[in-house]
Structure 1
Amino acid sequence: MPHRPGSADDPLAELADLVLNVGRLVRARTPTGADVVALTETERFVMRVVDLFPGASPSQIARHTRLQRTNVSAALRGLEEKGMVSRVASDGRSVAVHPTERAASNLGVLRAAWSSELAGVLGEDLDEVRRCAELLARIERHLTAGD
């Protein structure tokens, strides 16, 4: 059967819809409180790119996220105030953004909670989970390529 983009039986559109919905559902079960630094939606998005591309400049982060440079700057200010990123002057006028130890610790708490949540649903078939994660990582790399 030929692929018909946007049709009711389009598997790519269904995958995108499911990814978005599952992401929202996992986020709704994300722990809150003293152990987790609360981030806005934009801060979460920017933080993910900082984790993927440590040392990127704010302009590069904007390109990877496809967000306005002013929105990235505001998110970086918020992340810096929360101790999640550090900005270091690099060559000339450029600034390199890096995740902090606090960001790594925060991500560790979140990943442990997410893992527990999904383990209750997916059980022990980790080979299938790894294949799915590899597929999603490939999609993420393509979508954050910044071109």
Structure 2
Amino acid sequence: MGATAGDPQAPALEDAVQQRLAMTLREIAWAIHRRAPERADVGPIPTTEIALLKQVVDVPGSTVGELARALGLQQSNTSAALRSLGDRGLVERATSAEDRRVVRVWATPNGVAEHEAIAEAWTTDVVRAIGALPADEREALESVAPALAHVRELLRQPPLVG
């Protein structure tokens, strides 16, 4: 018989459920990232560069430091990935008009198109997988979508302590 509210086993059971959920979400994220589409016109793009391209598209005009902080990367790794994306014609850098010491990054039209194609490929796979679920499981996923969106926002903040 399982633990109930007020039962001393309840916190341990709750922790175990949260651990299983966290592991499942991690495995889903990894399964999605392994499906990174190889685009004929640019070849395979490492997942770090895909994440960086998404961030540049989502927050155009970011600095290298801002991009590094947003993704939890070292600035040197971010610069190297941006060079690779630039060599592929997916991003461009420009010196800030306000402060010539600052370089800002934008996605090129090809970069936006590539980002959209990758997002579409990933979304299509996820939609297919969800569509293959029984109706009750699809409804269960729909009911937790707001909570998952909240978890996503919390994970975008600096690491949680405690």
TM-score range for the pair, normalised by the shorter chain length: 0.7 to 0.9
> What amino acid does structure 2 have at the position aligned with 1:111?
A
Distance 1:83 1:5 in 2: 51
Deviations 1:8-32 (A, max 9, x none): x242x33332222112212333432
Counterpart of 2:85? 79
Shift of 1:57: 0.5
Instruction: Mark the runs of 5 or more structure 2 residues left unpaired by the alignment.
Output: none
Is the Cα–Cα contact under 8 Å of residues 63 and 146 in structure 1 kept in the other structure? no
> What amino acid does structure 1 have at the position aligned with 2:28?
V
Answer yes or no: is 1:139 the counterpart of 2:155: no
Shift of 1:137: 4.2
Percent identity, please.
26
- Match for 1:54 among 49, 60, 67? 60
Counterpart of 2:126? 118
Shift of 1:54: 1.5
Counterpart of 2:116? 108
TM-score scaled by structure 1? 0.76
Bigger Rg, structure 1 or 2: 2
- How many residue pairs get matched? 144
> What amino acid does structure 1 have at the position aligned with 2:94?
V
**Structure with larger RCO (C-alpha < 8 A, sep 6+):** 1
Instruction: Mark the runs of 5 or more structure 1 residues left unpaired by the alignment.
Output: none
TM-score scaled by structure 2? 0.70
Distance 1:146 1:110 in 2: 27
CA RMSD of aligned residues (A): 3.1
